[in-house]
């Protein structure tokens, strides 16, 4: 494995002498161009790696790669370990003889190439993968056997997906048969035999995913590109993770949640955000030294070189909402594991770089946890320009041990941000960054962020392309219409790569 941490990267110190400066691009796999409805691990992914190399970048930051459940959010997955079948490239399957070239081309993937049509994918992707399974199960039998040995989670995940199909895709909490809903061993054995072919299909799909992913990752490493990936702090209730190991979650004797996750009301959401994820039973997790988390990070290490822990502040204290509430208003703060867990992860995985997504409601206790962990936190430029204050996110306040962004997947594009920011804040930002009509706001903000002391700067692809708010990836608290933006073919051009390379070189981030 190629380690993310290189000499001088993200040292656990605020000293800047000798530290390597670098930059990267945030681009979801789903947003890559392809003729089959969504970005995949095929030609466009390899071309994007080439674009990053030409632009002098060191990192490709992705959104979670797991199989998304209801709502299509990559942060709500059926498994914390599995890969999304939608990202398996169909042309590569055709090259391997698992599909006929005309089969993917005969499918309706939706009318718009600029947006993912998840309904079409849900209807049409798995039938093609079943054909690949029928044609390839014997040819790749030994490889699949090795994959199962190396990934013990896959049998449980495959049975879970087979059971969901058996029960009309209902969440496990609504399965009509109690013994398998409660994950009783005898029922697991019986259903594994009954649904053997369907289980083997889902195992084969995961084999295909990781076969393509490993090849893409090896290519990225060959080009000098490291991969940053998110792990959401919580897992979905409708997941193989909660179904198979309920003892690690705050569930009652019937495996019904006692409380669920969210965030309290703030300036953006009067009712807060009710995420609905089951909360961890931290006392139970501590009993075996946080083995569940160690296994989780070990799985993520097979995907990424650097791991960003989403909602890091929830490890200090978390917002607990009674199950059944319709908003997050009536939640309460409860203590998280803090350095007991963080210390285990950073010592066990000493050769992996973690990034702390330390955004949201930051108390002195949260700030202390980030400081004690030594992990780089995040600075968001779109949050920096309050004309009445001196934000920690302003470039001159960024510390070396941090990652600077214009915005993340949860923020608007720069052009979208400009359309709703206050006039006074916009005027302050224009003065601070010396924005000119010739350079424009997107590249002016890129210049200012690249000039910051933050060791790493990451920019959304949408802002490199100077796109409007219509290209926003996600609007928190809004359940519909997210995760759909796709880049047009040819947009990651040699001219754009050269422009980005000039900025990167100017600010010593090559």
CA dist., res. 7 & res. 84, Å (int): 33
Mean pLDDT of 101-119: 93
Question: What's the N-to-C CA distance of the chain in angstroms?
Answer: 23
Work out the average pLDDT over 371-394: 94
What is the rounded CA–CA span in Å between residue 85 and residue 40? 9
For 88, 355, 380, 381, 407, the CA distances from 410, given in Å and listed in that order, are: 25, 17, 11, 13, 8
pLDDT at 480: 86
Looking at residue 7, its pLDDT comes to 31
Task: With cut-offs at 50, 70 and 90, classify the pLDDT of residue 18.
Answer: very low
CATH of region 22-506: 3.20.20.80
- Mean pLDDT over 357-386 rounds to 94
Give the C-alpha separation, 384 to 222, whole Å.
36
Tens of pLDDT, residues 151-192: 999 999 999 999 999 999 999 999 999 999 999 999 999 999
Rounded CA separation 218/401 (Å)? 28
Q: Which residues of 393-404 are buried (b: 16+ CB within 10 A; e: fewer)?
A: bbbeebebbbbb
DSSP for 166-232, please give it: HTTT--GGG-S-HHHHTT-HHHHHHHHHHTHHHHHHHHHHHHHHHHHHHHHHHHHHHTT-EEEEEE-
* 411 secondary structure, DSSP code: S
Q: State residue 71's pLDDT score.
A: 86
**pLDDT grade, residue 405 (50/70/90)?**
very high
Q: What is the mean pLDDT of the chain?
A: 94
SS3 72: coil
* Residue 310 is a catalytic residue: yes
DSSP, residue by residue, 78-122? S-SSPPPGGGS-HHHHHHTTSS-THHHHTS---S-TTB--HHHHH
Mean pLDDT of 351-364: 92
Overall average pLDDT of the 237-262 stretch = 97
> What's the pLDDT at 361?
81
Q: What is the pLDDT of residue 70?
A: 82
Give me the catalytic one of 9, 310, 316, 382: 310
412 annotated active-site: no
Least confident range of 16-30, 299-313, 486-500: 16-30
**Of the residues 9, 241, 357, 358, which is catalytic?**
357
Residue 368 confidence (pLDDT) above 50: yes
Residue 440: pLDDT band (50, 70, 90) is: very high
Please report the pLDDT score of residue 174 as a whole number.
97
Percent of the chain with pLDDT over 90: 90
Instruction: Say whether pLDDT at 8 is over 70.
Output: no
Rounded mean pLDDT, 64-78: 94
pLDDT in tens, 111-145: 888 999 999 999 999 999 999 999 999 999 999 99
Give the dihedral sign, CA 130/131/137/143: negative
Residue of 47, 91, 103, 410 marked active site: 410
DSSP H helices in 458-493: 461-464
Backbone angles phi, psi at 229, to 5 degrees: -135, 155
The model's pLDDT over 28-51, given as tens digits with 9 standing for 90+, comes to 999 999 999 999 999 999 999 999
425 counts as catalytic: no
Asked if residue 451 lies in contact with residue 507, where contact means CB atoms within 8 angstroms, the answer is: yes
Residue 374, Ramachandran bin (φ over 0: left; ψ between -120 and 50: alpha; else beta) = left
């Amino acid at each position: 494995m190629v380690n993310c941490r290189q000499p001088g990267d993200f040292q656990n110190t605020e000293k800047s002498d000798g530290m390597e400066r670098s930059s990267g691009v945030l681009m979801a796999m789903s947003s890559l161009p392809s003729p089959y409805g969504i970005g995949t691990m095929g030609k466009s992914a390899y071309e994007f790696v080439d674009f990053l190399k030409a632009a002098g970048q060191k990192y490709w930051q992705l959104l979670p790669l797991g199989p998304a459940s209801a709502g299509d959010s990559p942060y709500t997955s059926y498994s914390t370990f599995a890969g999304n079948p939608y990202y398996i490239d169909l042309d590569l399957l055709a090259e391997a003889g698992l599909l006929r070239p005309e089969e993917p081309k005969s499918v309706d993937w939706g009318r718009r190439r600029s947006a993912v049509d998840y309904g079409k994918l849900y209807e049409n992707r798995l039938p093609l993968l079943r054909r690949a399974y029928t044609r390839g199960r014997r040819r790749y039998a030994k490889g699949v056997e090795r994959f199962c040995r190396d990934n013990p989670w896959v049998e449980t995940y495959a049975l879970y997906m087979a059971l969901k199909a058996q029960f009309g895709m209902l969440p496990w909490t609504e399965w009509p048969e109690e013994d398998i809903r409660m994950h009783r061993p005898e029922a697991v054995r019986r259903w594994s035999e009954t649904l053997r072919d369907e289980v083997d299909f889902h195992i084969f799909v995961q084999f295909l995913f990781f076969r393509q992913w490993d090849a893409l990752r090896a290519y990225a490493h060959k080009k000098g590109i490291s991969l940053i990936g998110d792990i959401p702090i919580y897992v979905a209730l409708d997941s193989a993770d909660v179904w198979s190991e309920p003892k690690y979650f705050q569930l009652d004797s019937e495996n019904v949640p006692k409380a669920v996750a969210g965030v309290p009301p703030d300036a953006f959401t009067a009712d807060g955000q009710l995420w609905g994820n089951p909360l961890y039973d931290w006392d139970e997790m501590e009993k075996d030294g946080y083995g569940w988390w160690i296994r989780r990070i070990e799985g993520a290490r097979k995907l990424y070189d650097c791991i960003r822990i989403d909602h890091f502040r929830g490890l200090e204290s978390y917002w607990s909402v009674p199950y059944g509430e319709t908003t997050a208003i009536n939640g309460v703060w409860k203590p998280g594991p803090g350095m007991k867990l963080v210390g285990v992860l950073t010592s066990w995985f000493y050769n992996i770089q973690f990034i702390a997504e330390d955004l949201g409601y930051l108390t002195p206790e949260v700030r202390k946890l980030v400081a004690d962990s030594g992990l780089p936190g995040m600075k968001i430029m779109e949050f920096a320009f309050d004309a009445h204050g001196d934000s920690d996110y302003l470039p001159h306040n960024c510390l070396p041990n941090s990652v600077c962004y214009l915005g993340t997947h949860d923020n608007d594009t720069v052009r979208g941000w400009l359309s709703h920011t206050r006039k006074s804040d916009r005027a302050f930002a224009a003065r601070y960054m010396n924005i000119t009509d010739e350079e424009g706001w997107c590249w002016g903000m890129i210049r200012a962020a690249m000039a910051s002391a933050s060791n790493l700067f990451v920019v959304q692809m949408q802002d490199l392309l100077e796109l409007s708010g219509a290209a926003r990836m996600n609007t928190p608290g809004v359940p519909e219409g997210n995760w759909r933006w796709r880049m047009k073919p040819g947009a990651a051009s040699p001219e754009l790569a050269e422009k980005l390379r000039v900025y990167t070189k100017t600010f010593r981030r090559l």
